[in-house]
Amino acid sequence: MTTVPRIAVIGSGAIGSFYGGKLAYGGCDVHFLLRNGFDEIKRCGIRVRGKKENFHVTEVQGYKTSDTMGPCDLVLIALKATDNDALLTLIPPLLHRQTMLLTLQNGLGNEEFLAQHFGAERVIGGLCFICLHRVSPGLIEHFDYGHVVIGEFAGEAKSRTHDLAREFTDCEIVCRVADDLMQERWCKLVWNIPFNGLTIAAGGITTEDILRDPGLRSAALGLMNEVIEAAKNCGHTLPRDVALEQMQRTQTMGAYKPSTLLDFDAGRALEVEAIWGEALRRAQARGTPMPRLEQLYALLKSLNDHRE
């Protein structure tokens, strides 16, 4: 990385605005692709408010197209996985020989997509553990958490991975480097699969509602155990207490609505394949039965397909 890396943010929703905003507020040279809300963000900047985070980036370097941004050292990808095809035209103008691609997207398969089209050597994966809501373009409500885990798509962490983590840390983003990115991905799915899914399947409820209802709490634990077993059979043994830890973490969130539920309520396409479908397919390819996930995936896919 250069002394002051030039960073592009593709996907300026809640995740992209928060982490891109933190980097810009911390002094990095950050450039935002603003495909909607351009005028408002250029006029008012990016503001993050919450009980633990309150900051305002008053002058945002924003662009309506990636063609006008120019090559960058790091491209931070925060688009929904449902928009991955758009990356085929958005990313090429941002590349130079050593440009890194850091995906902060949910689920499985995003690193493989980037590696296929832009080269595995560029790709780094990142997992965001944060509770956010985009109130309007440029205004982000931060509820809790905020740390990031990053790792190389191909192999163990490199010096550039640690350099990038230090850059995040210098901008007050808690960041940890992982040597097994896919293990971290499966670990996050232990939470994402049950809680993102059941909040929709149960009629638009919160994570607190799931924990309070004995049947839904049991369903969440059953899904968690299926994910843990699938991860093991795919070569990624998760910590023994991962399910308990995730349940305890959820209790601190209060009446939280996950991002997928917010997408559903807003009529946006759901990341059904990245979060539920790909995990199911990989498990089945290894001979791992996942009846609870299979049923949940079918329901969410049907809801998504009928609405589209």
**Active site amino acids:** 188
**Which tokens is 285 given?**
């390819």
Question: Tokens 């049907």 sit at which residue?
Answer: 302
d(CA 129, CA 234): 23
For 188-227, give the secondary structure using H, E and C. HHHHHHHHHHHHHHCCCCCHHHHHHCHHHHHHHHHHHHHH
Q: What is the DSSP letter of 77?
A: E
Helix (H) or strand (E) holding 270: none
DSSP 150-174: EEESSSS--HHHHHHHHHHHHTT--
Where does residue 154 fall: left (phi above 0), alpha (psi -120 to 50 degrees), or beta otherwise?
A: beta
How distant is the alpha carbon of residue 54 from its chain centre?
21
CB 173 within 8 A of CB 76: no
Question: Tokens 């902060």 sit at which residue?
Answer: 104
